[in-house]
Structure 1
Amino acid sequence: MSLPPFGSLRLRFMLAIGLWVMIGILGIWFTATQVFTRHIEQAYHEELEVHVRELARLTELDENGAPYLVRPLSDPRYEEPLSGFYWEVAVRGHPPLKSESMIRGELDQRVAHSPQIVHRIESGPTGPAITYGMIEPGPAGELVHIVIATDQRELDEDITAFTRELSVWLGTLALLLMATGLALVLFGLKPLDRLAAAINAVRGGKARVLAGTYPSEIAPLVNDLNAYIDQTGQLVDRARVQAGNLAHSLRTPLAVITDEAERMAEEPASRISAQVLLDQTQRMQQQIDYQLARARLVAAPRLPGERAELPQVLLPVLRAMERLHPDKRFSLRGFDDPVELPADPVNLTELLSILLDNAGKWAERDVTVTLHREADSVTLAISDDGPGLTEEQMTQAFAIGSRFDPAKPGSGLGLAMARDLAAALDADLALERRETGLAAVIRMELTSGTA
């Protein structure tokens, strides 16, 4: 599983869970080890203090003043050689009495310098030792030095064993908590994944609404988005109808004015004025056509779920162009398999009609439509074998009213409208010079999930 992208909710939740698990586990580990260490140290010290007092009670002096034990200590570890548990009793002028465990070395008698029990870390027979000592008066007033010791490693090994086992269990608990947190994050955010997939399906044209069942926290958002999509569709439909009505209401009076101007042009006295009217009505017609087309595009963005399939959309346009330009030959290349585009079929058809008609006007003989598909984009080139354009002409080609040959039919709005149509389709439109003429190239990105 790949790491979520920076800034995602999953990454934030995972980092937060990881941080708090780490703080909690480390806090438990530190607290538990400290409590255990204090507890076991206290237990060791209490045990040694008890053994010191027991050793003092069991120590007797013979008639010569030499120490001996009435009986062995209750702890058998003091009888095992080099077990780490040792004792020693000493009286001045007599050899010290040692535990059977101390087969070598000796304990520091200086620890036993007070009737009160004192302890410190000293060197013992098998390493550093926790040493306790006290002095007891003998029958004749002699001082009996009683020393008992336990290797420091005994305490350290107990602490190390506890720490190791605690670390294993807490590490396992941390992994389980992280796995549980990750599962909760993945499960809890799964509805957002389904919502993202539904949005991609709408954007890619697979659906018209956001489908699926969502939790109560997300359901209102989904319902609002679906209502917005439906409302947008209704607004687009009304805008298209209104644009058509406006076009009809403006073109009829303009046609009457043009007809009257043509009649006036037949009279010598009003010919100059009539020509001015004809020029202005022609400009008005151009602007009306262009502005109505722009208004239609602005009011009609691509609706979710709209798709256009090539060459299905292209074939009717080609048949119309063949009838409109019977002396030209239109051909297709690269259309071996159908291609679905996330585009409004009406706008795409209009765009192709403008570009094919323009190519048909300028072509000597051949107009070729070439499709090139890549992983995430489609390039559609409409090329002709006509005279082409100069660099200067290409920079002016998309301007409103640009006409480079008045003898050719047209209003000079075709490429300007084609540019706006391409923008409405989220496509790039450019003119490219080719060896055989000129090509209009449309590049369109494919959203995820398109065929």
Structure 2
Amino acid sequence: MIKVNSLKSRLVISALLMVVVLLPLVGFALFDAFSQQVKRSAENELKAYLYSILAVAEVEQGQLWMPEVLPEPRFNLPESGLYAWIAARGNNQTSEPLWHSGSYLFEQPPRLNGEPQLGQGHYQWLELEQVPHLVYRYTAAFESAGQSLDVTLNIAVAWQGYQQQLDTFAERLIRWIGVLILVLLLVQLAWLNWTLKPLAQFRRQLAQVESGELNQLSTRYPKELSVVASQLNALLTAEQQQRNRYRNSLSDLAHSMKTPLAVIRSQSNLDSAIAEQVQRLHEIIDHQCARAQTAGASAWHQGVELSQVIAPLQRSLEKIHAGSGKTLTLELDPKLKFRGDDGDLMELLGNLLDNAFKAANTQVRLSAKATANQLTITVEDDGPGITESRREEIFARGKRADTYQQGHGIGLAIVRDLVEDYQGQLVVERSSALGGASFTLNFPL
């Protein structure tokens, strides 16, 4: 079975099936009804002709007498398509008829199957000169002067005229069914577009919330979608509030711990081993607080343009490293968006660019590109680079990321954790263009 994931596609296919299947069935039913009506009309016409012949037929002394000219002109015209003949009952298959109309010019009597009972009639089909005819046969008994004559009256009419009516009706029916199918398809498509318009708007607003253009969904939808929009808005609000409470709680905890640590560090007679552990605690608190401030994957409904974050970072780095001769080159579309929190992106790029400036000789390059499924950001420098053994240490579980090289402190650990929070990938290698270190961030879209 073909899988159709789009609701609109399913409705369109259903509408097409309804129109394309149902209307031809209706047309077939109409044609069948018209065919039956034409046949009944032909049968009634034959009966009327039969009664007109019976009305003028006479029997005298056992002999059948008929007028030379019948009231119906077609009976008097040769091969007019309307024929009448009377045969003696039981002998109509083998002998010439007792009488026939002027239109009857057949050399051999037509061979008919089955003879109706006395006083009854029936219809049957007959091929006369390879033309289909409808025949009405009726058996009657004439009595005169005590003598009886049993005869079978046969009225045959060519079916060509009726078939032309059927063909004309079928042609017009097909034409109008086709026009009706086209009109109904257009109406169905217009109706589907109008019906599904709220869903399309709902999808656009979801994309805008995801990209950070909107914070809440509109609730001006039909009541079925309005309930969903309201629940999503409540979920977004609760998620934002929960993340803020989490950040504030960790920030308060960090500040409350820093004060005692500062008092301990201020002691002049502090043992070196204890001082080292206190410093270690101070760094851990800084690291975890910085990580707590990130939004991570929970910020799916936010988005920020890369240029909005890179521009202030570039100005800050140029001021900090003014006179060093180091330059930052950008290769990216300014409209590219990072689907996440702007603070997280600032933390990521700030740490990577700061480390790159510290390690670079003269050049630092930041490039970014996006595909349908992934956003890739690369920061490169022309410094000494990172040895392969050090790269393995960076990704080894339980190893601190700030131990592989001087100048790359706790910031790189934060970068690594942030990338993991966004279900991304951090690749460290040698830059093929500049020769130094290359940090590549891959984020799924």
TM-score range for the pair, normalised by the shorter chain length:
0.7 to 0.9
Are 1:430 and 2:427 an aligned pair? Answer: yes
Q: Retained in 2: the 8 A contact 1:371–1:378? A: no
Residue by residue over 1:120-164, the C-alpha shift from the partner in whole angstroms, topping out at 9 and shown as x without a partner, is: 222224523222233544756555443211224444444444344
Partner of 2:270: 264
Partner of 1:381, secondary structure, is strand
Partner of 2:334: 338
Moved more, 296-305 or 168-177: 296-305
Partner of 1:12: 10
Are 1:41 and 2:39 an aligned pair? Answer: yes
Q: Retained in 2: the 8 A contact 1:286–1:401? A: no
Write the distance in 2 (CA, Å) between the matches of 1:418 and 1:156: 85
Are 1:350 and 2:347 an aligned pair? Answer: yes
Partner of 1:147, secondary structure, is strand
Count of equivalent residues: 427
Q: How does 1:218-229 map to 2 (within 5 A)?
A: 218-229=225-236
Partner of 1:383, secondary structure, is strand
Q: Retained in 2: the 8 A contact 1:40–1:155? A: yes
* AA at the equivalent of 1:366: T
Q: Retained in 2: the 8 A contact 1:107–1:124? A: no
Write the distance in 2 (CA, Å) between the matches of 1:36 and 1:94: 38
Deviation at residue 14 of structure 1 after TM alignment: 2.5
Deviation at residue 193 of structure 1 after TM alignment: 0.7
Residue by residue over 1:318-350, the C-alpha shift from the partner in whole angstroms, topping out at 9 and shown as x without a partner, is: 454456556744323245873452443322222
Alpha carbon RMSD of aligned pairs, Å?
3.7
Deviation at residue 388 of structure 1 after TM alignment: 1.8
Q: Retained in 2: the 8 A contact 1:240–1:299? A: no
Q: How does 1:393-404 map to 2 (within 5 A)?
A: 393-398=390-395, 400-404=399-403
Partner of 2:221: 214
Are 1:185 and 2:192 an aligned pair? Answer: yes
Moved more, 155-164 or 435-444: 155-164
* AA at the equivalent of 1:99: S
Are 1:122 and 2:116 an aligned pair? Answer: no
Q: Retained in 1: the 8 A contact 2:330–2:367? A: yes
Partner of 1:78: 75
Partner of 1:100: 102
* AA at the equivalent of 1:390: T
Partner of 2:154: 147
Partner of 2:439: 440
* AA at the equivalent of 2:184: L
Counterpart among 164, 180, 200 of residue 207 in structure 2: 200
Moved more, 322-331 or 287-296: 322-331
Deviation at residue 368 of structure 1 after TM alignment: 0.9
Write the distance in 2 (CA, Å) between the matches of 1:348 and 1:155: 83
Q: Retained in 1: the 8 A contact 2:77–2:103? A: yes
Deviation at residue 103 of structure 1 after TM alignment: 4.1
Deviation at residue 192 of structure 1 after TM alignment: 1.0
Deviation at residue 418 of structure 1 after TM alignment: 0.4
Distance 1:160 1:423, change over 3 A: same
Identity of counterpart residues, as a percentage? 26
